[in-house]
Structure 1
Amino acid sequence: MSFDLIIQNATLPDGRSGCDIACRDGRIAALEPNITAEAARVIDAQGLLVSPPFVDAHFHLDATLSLGRPRMNASGTLLEGIALWGELKPIQSIDEIVARAMRYCDLAVSQGLLAIRTHVDVSDEDLKTVEAMLEVRENVKDYIDLQLVAFPQDGVFRAEGADKHLLRALDMGVDVVGGIPHFERTMADGARSVSWLCEVAAERGLRVDMHCDESDDPLSRHVETLAYETQRLGLQGRVTGSHLTSMHSMDNYFVSKLIALMAEADMQVIANPLINIMLQGRHDSYPKRRGQTRVRELRDAGLNVAFGADCVMDPWYSLGAADMLEVASMGLHVGQLSSREDMRWCFDAVTEHPAKILGLEGYGLAVGNKADMVLLQAYDPIEAIRLKPSRLAVVRGGKVISETPPKIATLSLKGRPAQVDPASYCPGE
């Protein structure tokens, strides 16, 4: 019996070592020690970590890599970013949006990021961003699972006609219903938008993912309405609240009630550590709030919590490199998730947890699942977060689609090693 690919002597994220992973016809056909069959290609992992691919459950692909056009965000604030995006939308073409997004997808593949949920602005009548993202989704379908969210950036009721544009976007093939209730003109309109958008999702059998309470205002509590509508409409397991940054400013008594309601509704949560820590707390002097939602408390209540990248080189964030391990590292630090168990959990927050949010079929390292994986220059998930290592091989459907040489430094120091491999260090040495 022969295979398309065998990765030998791999360590898996759950701690199993000495594993061989055999792939055939796009699926994992065997996962066990010492597979001796022939294969078109054999890779010796040499004990390094093989992970399922990284997943970004919250991104804005229509704006990515647009930094500086038409100008820079001088204040660095969320609201100026939204205004700047409003200036860019009418002057950019579909071809420009597609070209930027495709460049980002190339970068994502090189980083082992093979599934992305992107929010697509549907505020404008021409829906250029929707047409562009539908084209990109078709272009990358063989190597990236790209899920599109109909996102009314300017408010589904605040922007004239945005409700109709959102429905058109869904008719065109957008996958998920989005919203931004805290950006509506009033709290009442925000609550009304949550109800209407959830009803649209229920009628169409779709998932929901709302930018919810991306604010420092502790009275921005639309997530409570989202939890209620999830229960009322039977959307349990299909609804995600993204950002939820107002929860970092809410009083603990209210949060104790709120998290219980969210758990009852089987809601899912996405924090965006890089952007939350950058954009929130802008009106504070000192002490200054961190901005990230209550990741530990939500996780401990049984909710599925993931980390998203949100932005890379766009009106809101001028950094980023499609590296979900950078995202995990920031989430770890901001959330003070410093125990070994917590740090290990942060790796799942950019792999297994967002895969569940997207509903990815056949995800994970198990026989019968899709043969999608990443060989990392690290020996375990915590070391991977610490080092942000090279993605030595990225595999999609049992075929290597990206390779990066290992990071090895050559030293010229008397009495010291000739080379330094950052993955060779172990605690206690």
Structure 2
Amino acid sequence: MDLVIKNARLPGAGTLVDIGVTAGIIQKIAAPESLQAPRVIHAKGGLVSPPFVDPHVHLDAALTAGNPRYNESGTLLEGIRIWGERKQRLDYHDIKSRAYRAVSWMVAQGVLFIRTHADVSEPSLTTVQALTDLRDELRGMVDIQVVAFPQDGIYTHDDGERLMEEAIELGVDVLGCIPHNELTREDGVASVEYVMGLASETGMLVDIHCDETDDDQSRFVETVAAQTIKRGLQGQVTASHATAMHSYNNAYAAKLIGLLARAGVGVITNPFDNSILQARGDSYPKRRGITRVDELLAAGVTVGIGHDSIMDPWYPLGRGSMLQAASLLLHLAQLSGHEQIFDVFRMITDNSAKILNIKEQYGIEEGKPATFIVLNADNEHEAIRLTPECLYVVRDGRVLAQTEPALSTVQLTAGKQLVDFSAPAPSGAGPEAAAEPDTSGE
């Protein structure tokens, strides 16, 4: 072994292990203190997880909030209008440098697999060139999939199909469309059929911005599922957002969810943007703006969580933290059951890895790449509760990022007390089971 991670706690596991690495590959997972190597990472009982996956982010627009102006209404449509103004002066180096900075934020927080959308509605395809070049430069450190995403729609202008095909020639990885933003329902259906046809011809993956609206009559997800089945594209297709599903009647929603499960279509929910942008026209009560995550999971649909925006015209906040996104979804989708919290963690790891079709290389198993993160938390539940520091980010045995944990001390009645926010064990429930604080003064 040339590297050992000592006293690691793997997802879903109660006992600690050591992880031995040779030449960037996990060679052995064994009992603590059984492996030796010249380099050691001390996990100290912390959670060692596969890296976080962000299956839906717009790096071309990242870090542009306020330029040329802020989205004062907070609506999706104003965001699209602002981005339309910004697109008139897109610059290759600006896009690439902003995207690089956003990716560095994400890596520091444990994200090593990213799917980004590149707007192909502007005729120069500058966004595609910048993001595919960044993808290639970071290959071997961060895996980035670039989606050809026609923000304005394919059939709202004359060159939509040509620009999609040019984006394929420039090397995008995934095909997208936005049927609810087309001029008519017929055009929306045609855009889905066109993209699915391209996927059949090329073997590429598909990720469609679908029904990102409060309109209960926006029902393009069923077209996506039907096309997936008819063209035999099961496992290759993702529907992102699907927020109109929260407004469907229950009978139709049940039928649709069964259809998605049959088609093997993954769904990505984006809690930051969805909760901010949706239901802006509601008085009270206000809808939450989130798709039916609990029902989708219960039906066996693979659901992932995306960050979506990082300080752009649609969402002015964010720092690329998938744990923050997971925590927000837990609250909005009411997934606070004990086992559901672990499900939410899987939505930013295993589920999103499945959506990106990277499961063969993903995970902490003997024989797989030594690509993992060490979190300052004991388990998945605590990781979502605390949204803690990512102490180490490791790719193929190399440390890409390292963070020192925050240290807090509090002085109340009797000297200084170290506060680490750790929770008492649930067993021994009475107050007498809680340890007295250290008030020694040190």
TM-score bracket for the superposition, by shorter chain length: over 0.9
Per-residue CA deviations over 1:270-307 (Å, capped at 9, x if unaligned) read 01111111100000000111110000101111111111
Give runs of aligned pairs for residues 47-58 of structure 1, distance below 5 A. Answer: 47-58=45-56
Distance in 2, matches of 1:141 and 1:54, equals 17
Asked if 2 retains the 8 angstrom alpha-carbon contact of 1:242 and 1:269, the reply is yes
The yes-or-no answer on 1:406 pairing with 2:405 is yes
Contact 2:119–2:127 under 8 Å retained in 1: yes
Counterpart for residue 374 of structure 1: 373
Cα deviation 1:373-426 (Å, max 9, x = unaligned): 111111010110010101111111111111111122123334365311123654
In structure 2, the residue matched to 1:28 is 26
CA drift of 1:15 comes to: 2.0
Greater mean deviation of Cα atoms: 330-339 or 10-19: 10-19
Kindly state the Cα deviation for residue 247 of structure 1 after the two structures are TM-superposed. 0.2
Normalised by the length of structure 1, the TM-score is 0.97
Please give the secondary structure, in 2, of the residue aligned with 1:102: helix
The secondary structure found in structure 1 opposite 2:37 is strand
2:100 corresponds to which of 99, 102, 119? 102
Q: Where in structure 2 are the equivalents of 1:118-157 lying within 5 Å? A: 118-157=116-155
Compare 360-369 and 322-331 and name the one that shifted more.
Answer: 360-369
CA-CA distance at 1:85 after TM superposition: 0.6
| 8 Å Cα contact 2:7-2:44 kept in structure 1 | yes
Equivalent residue number for residue 73 of structure 2: 75
Equivalent in the alignment of 2:326: 328
Residues 306, 353 of structure 1: 8 Å contact kept = yes
Q: Does 1:390 align with 2:389?
A: yes
In structure 2, the CA distance between the partners of 1:424 and 1:395, relative to structure 1 (3 Å rule), is farther
Residue 42 of structure 2 aligns with an amino acid whose one-letter code is: D
Write the distance in 2 (CA, Å) between the matches of 1:208 and 1:82.
22
Query: 1:31-69 CA distances to partner (integer Å, 9 max, x unpaired)?
Result: 111354432311221111111100000110111011111
CA distance in 2, matches of 1:397, 1:373: 9
Unaligned 5+ runs, structure 2: 435-442
Q: For the residues of structure 2 that align with 1:140 and 1:358, how far apart are their CA atoms? A: 17
1:72-120 deviation line (CA, Å, top 9, x unaligned): 1121110010111111112121000000001011111100110100011
Distance in 2 (alpha carbons) for counterparts of 1:401 and 1:292: 34
Q: Which residue of 2 aligns with 1:15?
A: 13
Residue pair 1:210, 1:242 contacting (<8 A) in 2 also: yes
Normalised to the residue count of structure 2, the TM-score between the two structures is: 0.94
- The answer to whether the 8 A contact 2:18-2:35 is kept is no
What does the per-residue CA deviation read over 1:300-349, in whole Å, with 9 as the maximum and x for residues that have no partner? 11111111100010010011111100010111111100110101100000
| Kept in 2: contact 1:4–1:399 (CA 8 A) | no
> Does residue 1:297 correspond to 2:325, yes or no?
no
Matching of residues 1-400 of structure 1 within 5 Å: 3-360=1-358, 361-400=360-399
Q: Distance in 2 between matches of 1:351 and 1:144?
A: 15
Q: Counterparts of 1:45 and 1:176 in 2: how far apart (Å)?
A: 36
Number of residue pairs the alignment of both structures matches: 427
Q: Cα deviations across residues 180-236 of structure 1 (Å, max 9, x unaligned)?
A: 000000011101111111011111001110000000000000000111100110001
| Percent of residue pairs identical | 48
Tell me how far 1:171 sits from its aligned partner.
1.3
Q: Tell me, in whole angstroms, the C-alpha distance in 2 between the residues paired with 1:376 and 1:395.
A: 12
The 8 Å contact of residues 59 and 116 in structure 1, kept in 2 or not, is answered as yes
Amino acid at match of 2:234: Q
Aligned to 1:411, what secondary structure does the other structure show?
strand
Aligned residue identity for 1:27: I
Is the contact made by 1:307 and 1:327 (CA closer than 8 Å) also made in structure 2? Answer: yes
The residue type equivalent to 1:155 in the other structure is G
For 2:132, what is the secondary structure of its paired residue?
A: helix
Q: Is the 8 A contact 1:407 1:422 kept in 2?
A: no
Task: Tell me, in whole angstroms, the C-alpha distance in 1 between the residues paired with 2:395 and 2:38.
Answer: 15
The answer as to whether partners of 1:150 and 1:178 remain within 8 angstroms in 2 is: yes
Distance 1:162 1:63 in 2: 20
Helix, strand or coil: the match of 1:223? Answer: helix
8 Å contact from structure 2 (residues 8, 46) kept in 1: yes
Distance in 1, Cα, partners of 2:148 & 2:415: 57
Worse-superposed segment, 411-420 or 226-235: 411-420
Structure 1: which amino acid aligns with 2:394?
Answer: V
* CA–CA distance in structure 2, aligned partners of residues 40 and 170 of structure 1: 46
| 1:377 and 1:423 in contact (8 A); partners too | no
Whole-Å Cα distance in 2 between the matches of residues 354 and 209 of structure 1?
13
In the alignment, the residues of structure 2 paired with residue 359 and residue 197 of structure 1 have an alpha-carbon distance, to the nearest angstrom, of 19
Distance in 2 of aligned mates of 1:264 and 1:257: 11
Q: Which moved more, 1:255-264 or 1:415-424?
A: 415-424
What is the CA-CA distance between 1:368 and the residue it aligns to?
1.1
Other structure's SS at 1:400 match: strand
Shift of 1:124: 1.6
CA contact (8 A) 2:270 2:305 kept: yes
The amino acid of 1:413's aligned partner reads L
**Partners of 1:216 and 1:179 in 2: CA distance:** 18
